[in-house]
């Protein structure tokens, strides 16, 4: 059975991203460093929408720093919010929260565990999946024939989707359903990854951006500013498999009693995960900025 790259959506009706853009955000606070296990446990109950609110907004905040001036103006014009960085953060999660369109396949890409790599003919029938939609969305935001609403929706989706294809534990072959125990708390690995592991770096998006963005070097920006969503999905696959091997994580054979047989995640594994999360968030930000800066080319 194929392992599904799932990007969860809320079932209840939510505001459009244009309505969300009118809401105000509080200032980010810098929090003291705490033990990794304690941090993960603190945010066990945080809602998970792929990267979750914090991860998505952190990617948007870092990407906003890398935009050139014409692109900043385009973002403000398309999303109808100023300044550009606020516009991107406020729209970063809308695609995961939007139940108003018949687009469930846009949030998925189904790849067999033994498939080796993403295959569009096999894994994305009709081009209706997150991997193929990124290119289409990029074209829409600069299409003069598209309506203002269509361009705005496309940019909101794009900000969300580019971040999501960089999530290792949602990539093909990753044991997202594996039960993981940290201290006395047990939860499925994909739920730990979606939000709690992101908060190992910082509690808020602007905190994470302030920590990670200055560490992105010019050489890294140049190196990461390439490839396709399919390439980035394959990267996530490789990162997942390497993480599993390094930390001896295995899929539970039984599904009904899996929680009782949860794998214990060590502090060393959490440090490993924290490093991976930081890199994938940074890479997603660089590539989102790269896509937007070159959208009209």
At 32-60, the pLDDT tens digits run: 333 343 433 333 333 333 688 999 999 99
pTM to 2 decimal places? 0.79
- Those residues whose C-beta lies under 8 Å from the C-beta of residue 35, and which sit 6 or more positions away, are none
Please choose, from the candidates 67, 69, 57, 125, the residue with its C-alpha nearest in 3D space to the C-alpha of residue 94: 57
Is residue 5 assigned to a domain? no
Q: Is the pLDDT of residue 208 over 80?
A: yes
- Spatial CA neighbour of 142 closest among 289, 258, 293: 293
For residue range 64-109, list pLDDT tens digits in order.
999 999 999 999 999 999 899 999 999 998 887 775 555 666 776 6
pLDDT of residue 179: 78
According to DSSP, the β-strands at 263-264 and 185-188 are unpaired
Positive or negative, the Cα torsion across 86, 228, 8, 212?
Answer: negative
Q: Within 13 Å and on the Cβ side, how many CA atoms surround 211?
A: 24
CB neighbours of residue 256 within 10 Å: 7
pLDDT digits (tens, 9 = 90+) for 161-193: 999 989 876 554 445 567 787 777 787 777 777
Range of the domain at 130: 34-293
Structural domain total, the chain: 1
CA dihedral 46, 49, 55, 60 (to 10 degrees): -140
Which of 230, 234, 210, 176 shows the shortest CA–CA distance to 285? 210
Residue 91 confidence (pLDDT):
93
Q: What is the pLDDT of residue 103?
A: 64
CATH number at residue 45: 1.10.575.10
Q: Is residue 7 predicted with pLDDT exceeding 90?
A: no
């Amino acid at each position: 059975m194929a392992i599904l790259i799932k990007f969860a959506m809320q079932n209840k009706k939510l505001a459009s991203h244009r309505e969300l853009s009118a809401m105000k955000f509080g200032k980010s606070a810098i929090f003291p460093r705490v033990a990794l296990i304690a941090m993960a446990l603190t945010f066990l109950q945080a809602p998970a929408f792929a990267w979750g609110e914090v991860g998505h907004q952190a990617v948007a905040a870092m990407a906003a720093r890398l935009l050139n001036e014409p692109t900043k103006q385009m973002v403000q014009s398309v999303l109808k919010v100023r300044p550009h960085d606020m516009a991107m953060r406020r729209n970063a999660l809308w695609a995961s929260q939007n139940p108003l369109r018949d687009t469930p396949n846009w949030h998925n890409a189904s790849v067999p565990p033994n498939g080796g790599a993403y295959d569009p003919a096999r894994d994305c029938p009709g081009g209706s999946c997150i991997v193929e939609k990124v290119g289409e969305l990029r074209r829409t935001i600069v299409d003069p024939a598209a309506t203002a609403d269509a361009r705005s929706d496309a940019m909101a989706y794009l900000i969300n989707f580019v971040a999501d294809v960089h999530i290792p534990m949602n990539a093909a072959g990753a044991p997202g359903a594996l039960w993981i125990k940290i201290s006395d708390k047990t939860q499925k690995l994909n739920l730990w990854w979606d939000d709690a592991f992101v908060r190992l770096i910082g509690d808020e998006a602007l905190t994470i951006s302030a920590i990670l963005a200055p560490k992105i070097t010019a050489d890294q920006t140049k190196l990461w500013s390439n490839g396709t969503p399919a390439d980035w999905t394959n990267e996530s696959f490789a990162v997942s498999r390497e993480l599993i091997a390094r930390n001896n994580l295995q899929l539970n054979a039984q599904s009904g009693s899996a929680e009782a047989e949860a794998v214990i995640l060590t502090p060393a594994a959490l440090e490993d995960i924290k490093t991976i999360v930081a890199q994938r968030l940074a890479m997603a930000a660089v590539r989102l900025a790269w896509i937007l800066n070159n959208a009209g080319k």
